[in-house]
Structures are given as structure tokens and as C-alpha cells.
Structure 1
């Protein structure tokens, strides 16, 4: 069943739309178009009938009819049956090209993404930190002394070493989600974990509910499995629980993938009351709720929360040391019921036969002392966050930002849809960016940009000044902005 939007829900999204002096239908069409481009109204969603929307907005039906007609003429609404057209993005626009795919490079080959920024570029596509050096080194030194005892064995273990699984289980139990080691499987990072989960649970063309925006690599994993993402948009205040509940009830997706602590890219945290509602709605729909908690430890404002697993027996949780300690560890995990873990283990053997033993021994030490590097790390990130927000206010005051409660990045809203164009010219100014549409489905988020605050203040200042210079160039040459429609392929973390 394709998604649909009721009149009351759309009215809430529209807000105070009729503020201008022009015709009401034009103002309505303009706000609806922005909601589609920003991903607040997902693509292929049936809008309310003209009659029901005019009643909800307390305007004449003629106003709604004219607004819908304008959107159809511009290519943002299909003709559909009757008056319930479906949202779309016209193919002959920047946004449409992002939806229907990038134009092949010269010779017909796609440009392969680089894993790191070229020499001399400040990398703002990666939202990641260098290693907690001394802590990580000490863990590996301890692991080296423990390794000889394991050498007589085969070294393969699809579930992971018991000491590490025990340490992870103890962390969940202490946080309010009682867990046994048999409910943990160690993976080679969070992305590996999500790939295993999707392979085990979903078939081709199955629906997977995702937040909108969401983590680009998670969206890539959904597409790689040939599943269909069902995007549910954020509101200005975070998760839209009525919309999530409606999508779960109507679409009944196989999996729902969410990032409750702390959402990437917005840095928001889901309140426990919403976690409880979401877990209940997913269970009622027969949907496996997958909670990515990779950023959970980066709680900059000390907001209390309970792991999603505490609110439902069928919840599957993903964790990792990549953001709290170092991406180079490649250590993540899945927490689920014992039968589900066994199912994941059976699926995993088609991908690999287990993780490296030395890294798991070191990871066990890191998890048992997980809080040791966090105070200094969080202090540094708070300072970087404050520096970035102040720099944006000073040099790009028209860019809207909100203070993220945690995580590693700020999600900026731009006054004009220039995210891709900025990304294309950014290397000319010494920086590398991840375009806003990489965080969405169907070319949305051209008016957004994720900026990490993982760099020291002096590098953040250089980056913001470079952003301002690139923005000024685009403002001075509107024709350039219109021609830069294909962002370079880059790896994003």
C-alpha cells in the first residue's frame, strides 16, 4: 500500500502558510513544494482530497484546486485518480536528477568515491574522530598478553568472543535493558551489523521504514538489498510519532530503522515516552524495530535516556566503538533475542566467519572501561560545538541551526537550495562536503547541509570561512548554481 497523508496531518505540517500578500493558492502551492523538496512530505505520498484539505485549512475548495493544479504543472504532483495526486519531483530539475540518478561521467563510467579527502582538503564529509590514543593503545597492549591463550583454537567465532559479549551485555543491563551474552553478536562495525540484519530479515522489494533525513550509509544498505525505503519526515521538534505510527500501520514494513541516540544528522534524542510508543507500534505492525545506538555515548548535554531494547522484546539494537573510541577498531555489535541472534549468525556465515580475535580482546577492555575517555572527549566536543555554532552565526547568520543534544554534527538549513552546488565547488575552497540529498530519499534536502564539529576550532573557522566564500560565489553567479547539479561521489562517515 502506497503512503497517504490525511488533511489534519498535512495541515499540521503546513503551519501558518498563508502569510503573504499574494494569492492564497500560490502561497499554499509554494509551501507544499518546499515540504516535498525538504523531505517533510515523502515522495509517492497521496495528498488529501481537495474537499478534505479545504475543510481542514478553512479555505475555499477553489484555493486548494488551484494549488494542486500549480503543483501538477510544475511536476511536483502526479495527476493520479480524482483529486488525490501523489507527490513527485520533476525529472528536469536539479532535484529530479538527484532522484533519477547521476549522469554518467565521460566514457560512461561512474566516478568511484574516495575514502579520504585529497591532500590539503579539510574533510567535512566525515563525522568521525581520531583515536583515543592512550586508551586504545593500552587496550591492545593488554590484549597482546591474552592472545597466546587463544592461539590453540581455530579462531573462528560467528558470535564473537565471550568476554566481549559479556562486557557489552553488562552495559545494556546497567542502562536498563537486562541482557545476556547469548543476546549479543559482535560484528565488524555498525554498517556490517545492519547489512547482516537486512540480509536475514528482508527480501527484495520489502519495505524498510527510515527516518527522513537518515544516515547515508544506512540508506545505501537498504538500496543494496533492493528493498524499498519508506521515509517518514522529521518535524522541527524531532520525530513525528503520529506519522511513524501511521506508516507502520499502513505500510507494515519488514524493518523500521531509527537512530534514537543521537540522530544522524540532526543530533536529536528521542524521549523515552516516544520510544515506548514506537516500540509498541512496531510490534503491532509485525515490524522489527532496529535502533542504531552508535552515537549513544556522545551525550553532550547529559540528557537521560533508556536503550530502545528496554521497551520491546523484539527490538534489535546496533552499537559500535567507532564514534566513541575509533573507527579503525571496526568493532560493533547486535543486541537481540537469542533466537534472532542465532538467525543473524546463520546469515553472517555467507559474509564472513567472524571478527579478528586481537581486536575483540582489545575491545573487551575498552567496553569494560567505556567511560574512561568520555569526560575529556565530551568536553572537547562541547567546545567544538559552541565554536562551530558561533562561527556560523557570525559568518552565515541566515543559515538556520539548532543545538544538537549529542552526536558529532550540526544539521544546517540553508535559505536557498544550493547544497549540491556548494558540494561541487567546495574543493576549490579547500573543503570537502557531503551534499544534503545524500541524507535523504529522492533528491530531498537540497536546502540542508551536515557540518561535523569533530575538528579543532581553528580548522572549523577555516572551514566556515571557506563555506562563506563558496556561498558568495554562488550568490554572485546564479547561472553557475543552476548548472552544478551533480555532486562528486564521496565516502561519508
Structure 2
């Protein structure tokens, strides 16, 4: 079944600077193949007709025909009667993780291992379960105990919060998708950082938003306060000119750049949004993963009107699918009403486990700080030794580092790394238009052994990149 059709204009934008020497049809086929493997062209997407694409690219139809033929021979394109040329991916549906028995080391996910005492907290949660078994078990807003615990956590962080301002969700991604449906009408504009968390812009697009990107300047690229002012002015201008219905930001330890907004930046962005009636949604899933950030920063909503999204996926464990939304009561009521068509509530047992864990958050964060500091220092040392030509920023928190490779080869490097057992997320995965081929996101959250193995694989892939053609292989793991 064909799920979507890609126009020639859109595909041309995704291709970017695809002509890098060699025959034109081979270069075109290689770029479409990389876009498919990287998930930027979904499987089962109908590509433009050969003549239409040739006109947009200024090529002969013969060249495009040859490129499509090569893609068919490689298994990345299939002719479907009545549907034209449809993208395929060898061996698996799009965006499925590589099976563990293939022996890959998966660094496409920036995540932490489970807490050492998660099993014990789970046992305590199970002990609390009997008193909830008398009801139907469908909980669209969250148990009173968990909502109170989340509110207490915000209050402890300097943002007084009532339980009535909290809605519990099935992770942060569910929260972002639900807010997108509540705040955006089809055709509305949505402000978003560039680069950004890919599943966020996917949720916005699914809600019908037209994206308005603003560049997020990594801390490592800021020479002085003037650079922060430039970034803030860009946000203000975009809000004023585009009048977006919603803005999605990651103000703390931004994924993927690691950048954090200063208090004065938060105030100015929220003030600009308030003037235009734009609702700012701040993703705080990594906000408390501080290693050694200078100065204290309050939650975004302490500086003005903002809706906050949080979860325990980055601090406790990604397998514990509990997140939340902090908003004013009218929006919470609207969200509860919109939720039923998609799901009937967050699992009770998982809520009970999180309720047991939230009072231990200071202890949890201290453990994570030690783990992330060790991971950051180790990967910085390895990369400096093996890749002195790469620009590796020194991050002060979060889960990853955003590396400038110096050449637009991120997708090729990610593909070549698969031959050496490593899955990584190429830079363009975090752009809404295929940009960031010069960048690579690497997590700092893995063990020293795993990180060393990953850097060894990267060294082999980097060394082979210019010596050999990139082979046709691989799957794309989900990016989180």
C-alpha cells in the first residue's frame, strides 16, 4: 500500500547538494538511497515521475530513468501498478531497529541504562496495586498520587505547581503529539528549532502544521553574549512575522546540540510569544541532566507562560513509558477530551512505580551526573585522539554531543559505520529539510567499553569512507 507521494519540489529540497562528482545518475541514486535508509523518505512513498523530477533538477529524463533503475536493482525502489515508483527498504519495514542477533552496537539512541534500583521500586509499586484493582483501570489524566508527586517536583525546582495543572501521558512523545493536536489547526504555523528532536517535528507535521525553523546555536559556537542575542532576536522575529500558533523548544541541553537558553533568553522569547498569542511548549525531558552547567536555571514556565513536557524516560529508563504535561487547567481539560480517540490512559502500574521514584529524584540525578560526566570525558578524549580534525564541543549536560565533521559526509559515514557493527544517527535526521550533513550526534550516555568500541568502528568507517564506495546495506534504528 502506498502511504504518501513525494512531489518533485519536495524531493529536490531533500536532495540538497547531491552532485559530488562521478556520474549524475549514480550520485542521484545514492542520495535517494541514503534518504530512504535515513528515514527522511519513508518506505512506501511514491517518488515523482521521471519527467517531472528531471525538469526540477535540470537533468535529462534518461539520467533520472537510469537512477531509478539502479535503485530498483538495489531493492530500494519498486514499480507498483497504478502507483509508479515506490520506495522500499531491504529486509524490514522502515524505522525498525536492527535485531539484536545481528551484533550491532546501537548508538542511534541517546538514552541511559535503567536505574540499578528500578526492580526494587517496581516491587513497591506492585504492592500498591491492589488498592487500584476495584476500578476499571482506565486513567486518562493520571493517578492523584502521581500528579501530586510531579507537582511537588516542579515546586522543589522553583515553579509552584498544583496537581490540577498536571496530566500524565504515555511518555513525552505522546505528550508532544497530544499538544500538537490540541494547539494546531491544519495549515497553522509552528515554530521549531533547527536542528531539533525529529519525532517532535514529525508530530507537528502530522497535526497539519507548517514549520517555521529558527537556528539553535550550540553553546560551543557562541563567542560571547552577542551570539545569544542574535539567536533570541531570530526567535522574536520569527514569532512576530509568522505568528505561529505553537512553538516547540528544548530550552535545556537541547537535542542534539546540547545548547541551553539563558534566563534572559527565556524571558524575551516568552514575552514575544505572549504578544502574538503563541503557545510555547518546552520539552524538559533532559532539563535535569546537568553535569556542570554554570548558574542555576528555573523551568521555562517560571519566566512566562509556557506549557511544559516531562518524562522519566531519560532519567529513570526509556522502558518506563510515563510522561506528563504541565499546563493551566483549561488546557488540561481540553487535552483530556482529545485523548480518548488515541488511547484510554496511562498504565496504572507504571504510574505507581514512578510515584515511588519521584521522591528519590535528587539521588537519581546525582547518579546520572556521575555517569554522564564519565561518559562525556571519555568520548571527548577518544575523539580528540582519533579524530583531531573533528570539532567536538564540550557539553555541560544532556545526553549527546553534536560533532562538526568538517565535511558534508554524515549520512555516508553513518552508512559506512554499519559495515563495522555500529548504528549512529546522521546529522540530517535532526533537520527538517535534509540539512546538517556536516554534523553527527554521538551519545555520551554509554559505558566506557561501548563508547570505545563505537569510536573504533567510527575510525574504521572514516578511514574507508573516501577509499571505497559506500556499500548497499543496513537498517535504520529509531532515533530518540
Same fold (TM over 0.5): yes
Equivalent of 1:419 in 405, 410, 415:
410
Q: Look up the match of 2:106.
A: 123
Q: 1:116 to 1:91 in 2, by over 3 A?
A: closer
Q: Count matched residues.
A: 404
Does structure 2 conserve the Cα–Cα contact (< 8 Å) formed by 1:232 and 1:244? yes
Equivalent of 1:306 in 298, 303, 309:
298
Equivalent of 1:446 in 437, 440, 444:
437
Does structure 2 conserve the Cα–Cα contact (< 8 Å) formed by 1:423 and 1:487? no
Equivalent of 1:222 in 180, 204, 224:
204
- Aligned positions of 1:82-121 closer than 5 A: 89=16, 98=35, 101=41, 105-107=76-78, 108-111=86-89, 112-116=94-98, 118-119=100-101, 120-121=103-104
Equivalent of 2:311 in 311, 317, 320:
320
- Aligned positions of 1:364-403 closer than 5 A: 364-403=355-394
1:259 maps onto 2:242 in alignment: no
Deviations 1:386-424 (A, max 9, x none): 000111100011110111111111100011111111111
Alpha-carbon distance, 1:90 to partner = 6.0
- Aligned positions of 1:125-164 closer than 5 A: 125-134=108-117, 136-164=118-146
Q: Look up the match of 2:173.
A: 191
Distance 2:381 2:179 in 1: 40
Q: TM-score, normalised by structure 2?
A: 0.79
Does structure 1 conserve the Cα–Cα contact (< 8 Å) formed by 2:147 and 2:167? yes
Q: TM-score, normalised by structure 1?
A: 0.77
Structure 1 residue runs of 5 or longer lacking an equivalent are 1-43, 45-74, 77-86
Alignment partner of 2:168: what SS?
strand
Structure 2 residue runs of 5 or longer lacking an equivalent are 1-8, 20-26, 48-70, 79-85
Distance 1:117 1:378 in 2: 31
Q: 1:110 to 1:205 in 2, by over 3 A?
A: farther
Alpha-carbon distance, 1:152 to partner = 1.2
Alignment partner of 2:281: what SS?
strand
Deviations 1:75-127 (A, max 9, x none): 99xxxxxxxxxx99467677985599477724335332223564311111011
- Aligned positions of 1:64-79 closer than 5 A: none
Deviations 1:302-346 (A, max 9, x none): 441100011223x11000000100011100000000001111111
Q: 1:121 to 1:322 in 2, by over 3 A?
A: same
Does structure 2 conserve the Cα–Cα contact (< 8 Å) formed by 1:117 and 1:432? no
Distance 2:255 2:399 in 1: 8
Alignment partner of 2:205: what SS?
helix
1:207 maps onto 2:189 in alignment: yes
CA RMSD of aligned residues (A): 2.5
Distance 2:422 2:301 in 1: 39
Deviations 1:216-262 (A, max 9, x none): 11122122223222111123227610111100000011111000111
Q: 1:91 to 1:385 in 2, by over 3 A?
A: closer
Distance 1:158 1:141 in 2: 24
Q: Look up the match of 2:159.
A: 177
Q: 1:114 to 1:353 in 2, by over 3 A?
A: same
Distance 2:247 2:31 in 1: 26
- Aligned positions of 1:204-353 closer than 5 A: 204-235=186-217, 236-237=221-222, 240-303=231-294, 304-313=296-305, 315-353=306-344
